[in-house]
């Protein structure tokens, strides 16, 4: 699948991959800084942003999409940076194009299967908006508030609501969401891998460390204090400092 992407800067390439319900703009606060010394490539993953839609959505096919992009752009020595769902795509890519990747960064996600999804209420709200054909932003906000969705998440979701249309494929994400929570243990990846976790988030719990190091023996885990799941947006300066120190 040919993904929509934004390319800036020159130098060693970094590919940025967003989380579920997001788009290529989500990691812009990191790309804007790193494009001064690297070539940054921000992508819309399938069923998101301006990339094509597909009924198939799992980490294997999403990794293949990125691999195709790497080949189309003739990339080598690639640094992969992904948040949440995009982080799992980055980790999966170590099995798909290992020869093209030098370093991998997973932001607030672990290579594990998640049993309890914190996005069920978001999917419920989105499904209600779709089924009732709700296209007025104020009414969408009311639905989401009634589902207990916090204001920051509502504003995040509305970034992908353009001209009375959701840019992400609600129907397929809903049907395939179990794949996004899933993870198949991979062969050990020996190259440097960085896990950045928010101290207030449960996505990279200390109980997962054993599985992290089993699959990524050369992993480094950095914790950002007073940050939740969207650690890159909440504590951008701290995350950039960690990235600069580690990449160098």
Active site residues: 84, 229
Nearest to 110 by CA among 2, 207, 224, 239: 207
Q: How would you classify residue 78: left for phi > 0, otherwise alpha for psi between -120 and 50, otherwise beta?
A: beta
Q: Beta strands 5-8 and 219-224: pairing type? A: unpaired
Angle, CA 198 vertex, CA 197 and CA 204 arms, to 5°: 45
Asked whether 143 and 129 are in contact (CB, 8 A), the reply is yes
Q: Write the DSSP symbol of residue 146.
A: H
């Amino acid at each position: 699948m040919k993904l929509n992407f934004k390319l800036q800067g020159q130098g060693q390439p970094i590919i940025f991959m967003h989380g579920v319900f997001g788009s290529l703009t989500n990691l812009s606060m990191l790309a804007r800084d790193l494009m001064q010394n690297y070539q940054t490539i921000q992508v819309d993953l399938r069923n998101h942003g301006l990339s094509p839609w597909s009924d198939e959505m799992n980490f294997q096919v999403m990794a293949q999409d990125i691999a195709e992009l790497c080949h189309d752009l003739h990339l080598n020595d690639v640094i992969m940076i992904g948040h949440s769902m995009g982080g799992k795509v980055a980790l999966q890519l170590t099995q798909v194009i290992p020869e093209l990747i030098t370093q991998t960064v997973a932001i607030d996600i672990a290579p594990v299967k998640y049993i309890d999804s914190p996005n069920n209420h978001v999917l419920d709200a989105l499904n209600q908006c779709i089924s009732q054909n709700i296209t007025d932003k104020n009414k969408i906000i009311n639905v989401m508030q009634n589902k207990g969705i916090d204001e920051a998440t509502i504003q995040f979701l509305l970034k992908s609501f353009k001209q009375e249309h959701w840019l992400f494929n609600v129907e397929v994400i809903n049907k395939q969401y179990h794949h996004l929570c899933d993870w198949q243990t991979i062969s050990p990846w020996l190259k440097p891998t960085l896990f950045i976790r928010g101290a207030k988030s449960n996505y990279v719990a200390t109980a997962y460390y054993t599985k992290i190091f089993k699959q990524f023996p050369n992993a480094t885990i950095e914790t950002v204090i007073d940050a939740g799941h969207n650690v890159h947006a909440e504590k951008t300066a701290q995350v950039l400092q960690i990235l600069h120190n580690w990449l160098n």
